[in-house]
Amino acid sequence: MQASLFVAVLEAEIADLKARIDAAEQRWARRRSRSRIAAEVPERLVRLHTELAEATRLVESLKKRRTRAAASSAPRPEPASSQ
């Protein structure tokens, strides 16, 4: 239950990070188009990508763990009795 809630929170955070990355990339593209020299990737944009990768990794890990837990707690068929 708590893992499901945490996954939902992380997925909302991922959506927010993607929106922030899109906006930051658009600002950076505008800055590059106005400049005659190559502009380095802004540190903020690098941090946002790092945060997105970490949040995505956490969600995938939690989903795998939940899948394994569900599989291990599933009822197993009883062995056939030999009479």
pLDDT at 37: 86
Per-residue pLDDT of the chain (83 residues; tens, 9 = 90+): 788 899 999 999 999 999 999 999 999 999 999 988 887 899 999 999 999 999 999 999 999 988 877 777 767 667 666 55
Side-chain-side CA neighbours of residue 44 (13 Å): 9
Confidence (pLDDT) at 18: 99
The string of DSSP letters for 3-71 reads HHHHHHHHHHHHHHHHHHHHHHHHHHHHHHHH-SSPPPPPHHHHHHHHHHHHHHHHHHHHHHHHHHHHH
The per-residue pLDDT for 83 is 56
pLDDT at 77: 67
